Amino acid sequence: MRILLTGSSGWLGSALAPRLRALGHDVIGLDPIASAKTLIVGSIADRDLVMQVVSENRIEAIIHSGALHKPNIENHGNSDFVATNVQGTLNLLDAAVASGVQRFVFTSTTSLMISQAIRAGFTGGARKAAWLTEEMSPEPRNIYGVTKLSAEHLCRLYHIEHGLPVIVLRTARFFPEADDMAHAIEQSDANTKANELLFRRLTVEDAAAAHIAALEKAPQLGFDIFIVSAATPFQPDDCEALIADAPSVVARYFPEFPALYAKKGWTMFSSIDRVYDAARARERLGFVCKTSFADVLAALAAEAGTA
């Protein structure tokens, strides 16, 4: 297929483009920042450019991973987020319909699922962890979440009005930057990211694989929204204990974890405040992240010579 990949110079785009090409696809990268993965330098907010790129390159599928992200809030105004995340998505959807594109995959975020009320519970002493699925009604707490949710609604509308097959992937954390989540314990970045694989993280390789799975299944599914995160071992019944004493819950599922963490000098979060449930992606998309917390423990065991 001839695929337009937005955000091709970004962390996800750089991982996704070579995988798509290895599968035999012709990938046209579009990004405001030049890179080896980007054929066309420009913004999705430029409507004329988007229409031209999709038409002239005979695009058959669009993977839309380009966006302004949460860290951009510090140096971009609300109008910038609307122009890129909302108008940019609308431009791509219009171009898709005009040119007969058959598949559209949109990279969304689990961040939009965290309302101000949920956030207040996290910081104000919630009695149990939030169990988050696609069934909840999001109430985003910042301009990033608001614009990503608006873009999701546009994707749904274009499926309803034009029959465009669209898959929305609400990805958990996979970026390389250090975590911004406050914890009462000092941890290395690797330690933090390992812990997060239990409930709110995936690797960029798995994020790329999820997009390929969505691309393949889009015509069959028509429209759907999926949380994409490493498979959690937890169950909803664990939510109260996860707030009160997360290490004991983790040890129940992984008895080897305390000793392996101690040898590495790592610590588990004392409290886990949310769990993203990716069961729907497993059941309907047929996708499960390859890397999980169990793989981290296996690597630690090998490092310690106990495998």
The full set of domain ranges for the chain reads 2-186+202-230
What is the dotted CATH code of the domain comprising 2-186+202-230?
A: 3.40.50.720
DSSP 8-state code for residue 158: H
Bridge partners (DSSP) of residue 49 are: none
Global pTM value: 0.94
Residues of the chain below pLDDT 50: 182-184
The pLDDT score that the predictor gives to residue 184 is 43
Comparing C-alpha atoms, which of 227, 117, 122 is closest to residue 171?
A: 227
d(CA 266, CA 135): 35
> 66-99 pLDDT, tens per residue?
998 888 888 889 999 999 999 999 999 999 999 9
- For residue 217, which of 107, 103, 109, 135 has the smallest C-alpha distance? 103
Taking alpha carbons only, the member of 91, 113, 31, 99 closest to residue 66 is 31
Q: Give the pLDDT score at 115.
A: 76
Whole-number pLDDT of residue 275: 97
At residue 179, the pLDDT reads 56
pLDDT of residue 183: 47
Q: What local confidence, expressed as pLDDT, does residue 6 receive?
A: 98
pLDDT digits (tens, 9 = 90+) for 31-61: 999 999 999 999 999 999 999 999 999 999 9
pLDDT confidence of residue 279: 98
* Residues 143-156 as b or e (16 or more Cβ within 10 Å = b): bbbbbbbbbbebbe
Residue whose structure tokens are 């860290």:
71
